Amino acid sequence: MINPIGSDTLNPLYVDDTVQREALIEEGEKLPSLLVSSATAANAVMFAGGYFNPLTGYMSLADALSVAQHMKTSSGQFFPVPILNLVESSEPIAGAEKIALRDPNVEGSPVIAIQQVDSIETISDEAMALMTEKVYATNDAEHPGVAAFNAQGRIAISGAIQVLNYSYFATDFANTFRTAVEIRNEIEKRGWSRVVAFQTRNPMHLAHEELCHMAMKRLNCDGLVIHMLLGQLKPGDIPADVRDDAIRTMVRLYFAENSAMVTGYGFDMLYAGPREAVLHAYFRQNMGASNFIIGRDHAGVGDYYGPFDAQTIFDTEVPDDALEIEIFRADHTAWSTKLNRVVMMNEAPDHNKEDFVLLSGTRVREMLSQGIAPPKEFSRPEVAEILINYYQSLSAA
**For residue range 179-198, what is the model confidence (pLDDT) as tens digits?**
999 999 999 999 999 999 99
Strand partners, 57: 160
Provide DSSP, 271-284: --THHHHHHHHHHH
CATH superfamily of 175-265+271-396: HUPs (3.40.50.620)
The predicted model gives 230-243 an average pLDDT of 81
Place 317 in a pLDDT band, splitting at 50, 70 and 90. very high
b/e code 191-219 from CB counts within 10 Å (16+ = b): ebebbbbbbbbebbbbbbbbbbbbbbeeb
What pLDDT is stored for residue 362 in this prediction?
Answer: 84
Is the pLDDT confidence value at 361 over 90?
Answer: no
Q: Which residues 6+ apart lie within 8 Å of 214 measured at CB? A: 330, 333, 344
Instruction: Give 333's pLDDT tier (boundaries 50, 70, 90).
Output: very high
Q: Give the percent of the chain with pLDDT over 90.
A: 89
In the chain, which segments carry CATH 3.40.50.620? 175-265+271-396
Show which residues are catalytic: 201-202
Question: Which homologous superfamily does the CATH classification assign to the domain defined by 18-167?
Answer: Sulfate adenylyltransferase (3.10.400.10)
pLDDT exceeds 80 at position 325: yes
58 has a pLDDT exceeding 70? yes
Contact status, residue 64 vs residue 156, Cβ threshold 8 Å: yes
Dist CA 104 CA 43 (whole Å): 13
CB 123 within 8 A of CB 156: yes
Per-residue confidence band for 378, with pLDDT thresholds at 50, 70 and 90? very high
Residue 175 to residues 203, 229, 241, 264, 367, Cα–Cα distance (Å)? 17, 14, 11, 9, 30
For the chain, percent of residues with pLDDT exceeding 70: 99
What are the CA-CA distances from residue 162 to residues 65, 200, 202, 377 (Å)? 24, 29, 32, 48
pLDDT band at 397 (very low <50, low <70, confident <90, very high): low
Cβ neighbors of 308 (< 8 A, separation 6 or more) are: 296, 329
pLDDT of the residue at 202: 86
Domain with CATH 3.10.400.10 in the chain: 18-167
Task: Compute and round to an integer the Cα radius of gyration of the chain.
Answer: 21
Average pLDDT over residues 307-322: 95
